[in-house]
Structure 1
């Protein structure tokens, strides 16, 4: 009887060991399989990101080529030109296909990649760099930003703090430069300027005193460019027209926007005629005439933003690049990756 019980215990222990061994082997096999699957997924995602970045680099060159061709044709920059036409999401194979005889089999083998993109005239926005001129606050530009803040119902205290911080970061030696990158803000000027680093991009205005909410609200209307610029009256939205043109009302800004839909402006004088003003100041009637100046306004641009996004299966990679055009030379100033779907411009 005792021997039978002892054999039963041995068999139970052996069965338990066998079950534990099987469970251990299954766990190790599952872990190895998971690690292999994870490695494949990581490699696939990394390959997709690398491919997407190469495609975006080609899209950037394509955008630069369009801007170079636009420079060759000359004339003002407006929203009816090829650079202003957005590219809706398109399969990449439509660009790579060389003939119309491509079979369904070759289409199945094509890369499952989709490209989206558009360009923005950055001189259709107020340039925060213009707020400081020769180390001093520009009165005309300060009034333009005040009008924009009032229109958007943004706190004026943030604007005042931002302007003061910009003045400290851009002394006369830096503020008088027209081609600097905006980073040479620690030479000369006030002693406090050594503690304030000048912005190099729009997001740096957060350090100047603007809140994240204010920056998000200003994004379609304000930018930071590394030199003094004029507002392009052919591309500026109504809000920027209202803010940048002194003594104008919303109706006048809307009138400019409607007039350029029919025919773009070739000079600032044509804008004055639309508003019924032939000079930068004065006019008939009690109300002062809208002030349009060639020092503050124009009809051509040098700075553009090229936006691109590539979708490969589940991988989404976007990029925003700011370029400057000097004649036929197109130089890239900055490239930023996007961590959210690319917002398409409103029609």
Structure 2
């Protein structure tokens, strides 16, 4: 009996030691799990902070580059009245190493950080047909302008009904917001296709050609039209010194592709200083007046792209130049992976 009594406490002590060991292992596992979670959260926070800092730095670099574009346009305003593709603003900055652009000594480019590449350009926004010309200040569609858009749609290879769909959609959108961004009249009387516009059902007014999808236009059709049309805050003439052959032939009725090509060749030899210099190339029903044509521009689009490793940030800014004042109107920025281009 005494031997049995001695073995029983021994078993109890062994069980207690086993339970203590098991409890210690559970506590150790819990501590390790919590520590790993804390380390992961800290690493994630550092990664997020680093990504935010990188985006902020990239945004500032792009803002500085685009500000330099505004300076170029400001300097170009010293010779007002004429804008053509032979001027400094029309020269595109090819993708270049940011370090090579900033460093005085090339040896300073050897840093531990990733290499960054910058690309930029300035585009004449009045080198394309302005969709704002479709509607007058009283929110009436202008048949002659719809005919221009119809010809450009045919050039772009989009369905023939796209022109009227765009025109009526823009008319309804501008009527709903007070008419052409506040330029229209106060009355509710619409013109062709403008009567009885339901303000609640009217689409949002797009700000760019890519946003024509808001009007029910197929994205593929909007993309096909992008090289030929633009959307500016007010009606503008077409710059004869920068417009493409296709746009010239589409805007001026009666101007065939051959005549448009002669205009392009003539301005390459010597940019037009006045509308009268180009008037001899326009035939047919096209009216070469100050409302439809010009040799200078006020609206420009500045674009820049910064690429760092597998990420890139792109930014576009629409600016208006009034004298030597170059004022931004809107800005778009987005970040995408390099392999998604």
Category of TM-score, reference length = shorter chain: 0.7 to 0.9
Question: Higher Cα Rg: structure 1 or 2?
Answer: 2
Q: Which residue pairs with 1:345 in the alignment? A: none
For residues 141 and 166 of structure 1, the distance between their equivalents in structure 2, rounded to whole angstroms, comes to 13
Q: How many residues align structurally?
A: 322
The equivalent position to 2:30 in structure 1, one of 8, 24, 32, is: 24
Q: Which residue pairs with 1:158 in the alignment? A: 162
Residue 122 (structure 1) shift:
0.5
For residues 293 and 169 of structure 1, the distance between their equivalents in structure 2, rounded to whole angstroms, comes to 28
The equivalent position to 1:115 in structure 2, one of 111, 118, 136, is: 118
Structure 2, unpaired ranges of 5+? 190-195
Residue 211 (str. 1) matches residue 211 (str. 2): no
Structure 1, unpaired ranges of 5+? 176-180, 282-287, 343-347
For residues 289 and 97 of structure 2, the distance between their equivalents in structure 1, rounded to whole angstroms, comes to 45
Superposed, which structure 2 residues align to 1:132-147 within 5 Å?
132-133=135-136, 134-147=138-151
Superposed, which structure 2 residues align to 1:1-347 within 5 Å?
13-97=19-103, 99=104, 102=105, 104=107, 107-108=110-111, 112-133=115-136, 134-170=138-174, 182-183=181-182, 187-190=186-189, 192=197, 194-195=199-200, 196=202, 199=205, 201-202=207-208, 203-273=210-280, 275=281, 281=283, 288=284, 292-312=288-308, 315-340=311-336
Question: Secondary structure at 1:72's aligned position in 2?
Answer: coil
> Are the equivalent residues in 2 in contact too, given 1:185–1:198 (CA < 8 A)?
no
Residue 71 (structure 1) shift:
0.8
Counterparts in 2 of 1:155 and 1:51: CA distance versus 1, 3 Å: same
Further displaced range: 202-211 or 27-36 = 202-211
Q: Compute the RMSD of aligned alpha carbons.
A: 3.2
Counterparts in 2 of 1:200 and 1:325: CA distance versus 1, 3 Å: farther
Counterparts in 2 of 1:193 and 1:225: CA distance versus 1, 3 Å: farther
TM-score normalized with structure 1 length: 0.80
